[in-house]
Amino acid sequence: MNLIEVIKENVIRGHTDSNAKYPPDLAGKPGVKDLVQNAIDEMIPASQILNESLIAGMEIVGSKFSAGEYFVPDMLLSAQAMKSGMQIIEPLLKSEDSKKIGTVVIGTVKGDMHDIGKNLVRMMLEGGGFEVIDLGINTPPEKFIEAAKKYPDAIIGMSALLTTTMENMRISIEALRANGLNNKVIIGGAAASQKFADEIHADGFTRDAAQSVQLVKRLIGLAA
Ligand code: B12
């Protein structure tokens, strides 16, 4: 198994680092954090680690959960393992001291605690030269309104992973418009789709973080 595959396997097994006691058969062995560092040392591009190990691993975790093979604690361990790897590659995905080309406000909507995808979008946008204001998880419409008032030119990004919370994207957009705020809004997350974006009058949707940079650039007239 190559390093990329080993990292992916450790995300699936929820093994964070060599100090982690879980899962017992991997205790004492390098985990996601250590292996991602090894991959960086071996000059494997951060974007490859992100897509082929971290995201690919979480996709499998999702299918195992759907199949009833994994439960919430398993998902949580995998999420923690993935985060420990993301912390290492985050600085590498960011282009430092570059001039900011625009501002994006991003948040996971009310009732929703999932933030891995949102954080990836934030990282990619920062890497693409945007200033990103991160409102965190469980963001009520009032917080989007407050941020939109403060950053009138900002694009607003909303994330939702649950079919129960995706309605809060609609509610948040309606609240912005009812307050006379015309910031462009993009949506994403496993629960969202282009069809839903059209239905709730969002200005854009993408399925993955990498495409969010192009989408935002297009919305501010920097890309065709
Ligand atoms: C990890 C995880 C958790 C972790 C979250 C940890 C964290 N800090 O985020 C924990 C364990 C806490 C969790 C809890 C729950 N979860 Co959960 N979880 C997942 C899992 C396995 C992975 C999500 C993830 O991080 N994916 C990886 C990232 C990279 O993908 P992503 O989020 O989709 O983001 C990408 C794109 O969508 C896009 N994107 C994301 N946001 C945005 C925003 C914008 C603006 C744009 C442009 C793009 C964009 O870019 C990202 C990168 O490419 C998914 C399964 C899955 N495959 O989605 C289930 C899943 C989302 N969870 C699910 C469920 C049911 C729950 C719980 C209700 C379980 C329970 N019974 O308690 C709770 C809900 C808690 C809450 N109120 O939010 C279901 C949702 C089903 C549904 N249709 O509603 C899923 C789909 C699992 C399943 N197959 O059933 N979960």
> Is pTM, for the whole model, over 0.85?
no
Distance from the alpha carbon of residue 161 to the mean position of ligand 1, in angstroms: 5
162 touches ligand 1 (CB under 6 Å): yes
Task: For residue 195, give every residue at least 6 positions away whose Cβ sits within 8 Å of its Cβ, in sequence order, or none.
Answer: none
| H helical segments located in the chain | 3-13, 32-41, 46-48, 56-66, 72-93, 116-127, 141-150, 167-178, 194-199, 209-219
119 touches ligand 1 (CB under 6 Å): no
Residues 105 and 133 sit within 8 Å (Cβ to Cβ): yes
Q: pLDDT tens, position by position, for the chain (224 residues)?
A: 899 999 999 999 999 999 999 999 999 999 999 999 999 999 999 989 988 999 889 889 878 988 999 988 898 899 889 889 989 998 887 654 456 789 999 999 999 999 988 988 887 788 677 899 999 999 999 999 999 999 999 999 999 999 999 999 999 999 999 999 999 999 999 989 999 999 999 999 998 877 888 899 999 998 77
112 touches ligand 1 (CB under 6 Å): yes
74 touches ligand 1 (CB under 6 Å): no
Structural domains of the chain ordered from first start: 3-93 (1.10.1240.10), 102-219 (3.40.50.280)
**Residue nearest to ligand 1 atom 68, measured at CA:** 162
75 touches ligand 1 (CB under 6 Å): yes
**Residue nearest to ligand 1 atom 85, measured at CA:** 62
